[in-house]
Amino acid sequence: MTILTDRELADRLSQLVWEHASDFLEGGTPGGDLAPELLANHPVDVDEVLIFFLWVHTHVVQQAYAGRYPGEVVKKLLDAMHRRVFADLEEHGIPASRLPLFEQVISSRYADYYAAAKSETQRIGELAASLIDDDQNDVEGTEALAAALAQASVEVAGPLRDFLVEVRLAPEPAVSPT
């Protein structure tokens, strides 16, 4: 069992979000490679790829820690993960003024993904592909992208859930009365 503070775990989760999004954009998934030409010949919205992987990580954390920690502890952890991702975006040149709008888009997408998650994994891939795909006229390519995104969500979720089961959050330090 590994014991991490919520900040340490949030930092690790944000790192995983970036790794998984980058791997996907480079034509790979945690379980294997996509056909390199799928993304090479298929324009995608990079912001939407990031939002998709943020949602996958958020959803898995919520599932893994439901019942183990109070809701406010999980919310604090997820807020810290999102803040870290936003800080990374700023460090890489995204203006801070753009972040509130990006957060609104994230909130809207999360609602859509949660609704899709109530059905089957393929539906999540189809929704993600419809948001990520900048070339909706290529039906065959969009279907392949949907399958790849569904596969990626499963391949990210399993190992992440296993990792989270082995992580225990360190208790908040007691505040001594003054």
Query: What are 77-99's pLDDT values in tens digits?
Result: 999 999 999 999 999 999 999 99
Looking at per-residue confidence, does 97 or 145 come out higher? 97
**pTM for the complete prediction?**
0.91
- Does residue 175 lie within any of the structural domains? no
- Does residue 36 lie within any of the structural domains? yes
Q: How far apart are CA 40 and CA 115, in angstroms?
A: 30
Number of domains forming the structure of the chain: 1
pLDDT tens digits for 30-78? Answer: 655 665 667 776 778 999 999 999 999 999 999 999 999 999 999 999 9
- Does residue 164 lie within any of the structural domains? yes
Q: Look at 36-40, 73-77, 130-134, 136-140 and tell me which has the smallest mean pLDDT.
A: 36-40
- Does residue 34 lie within any of the structural domains? yes
Cβ(149)–Cβ(129) below 8 Å? yes
Cβ(80)–Cβ(10) below 8 Å? yes
pLDDT at 174 over 60: no
Residues with Cβ within 8 Å of 113's Cβ and at least 6 positions away in sequence, in order, are: 52, 55, 59, 124, 127, 128
Give, rounded to a whole angstrom, the gap between the first and last alpha carbons of the chain.
34
- Does residue 178 lie within any of the structural domains? no
- Does residue 33 lie within any of the structural domains? yes
Give the residue numbers spanning the domain of 137: 2-169
- Does residue 177 lie within any of the structural domains? no
Single-letter code of the amino acid located at 151 = Q
Cα–Cα distances (Å) from 117 to 72, 152, 164, in that order, read 23, 14, 20
Percent of the chain whose pLDDT exceeds 90: 66
Q: How far apart are CA 134 and CA 136, in angstroms?
A: 6
Looking at per-residue confidence, does 23 or 51 come out higher? 51
- Does residue 18 lie within any of the structural domains? yes
Report pLDDT for 26. Answer: 82
Write down the mean pLDDT value for the chain: 89
pLDDT tens digits for 98-107? Answer: 999 999 999 9
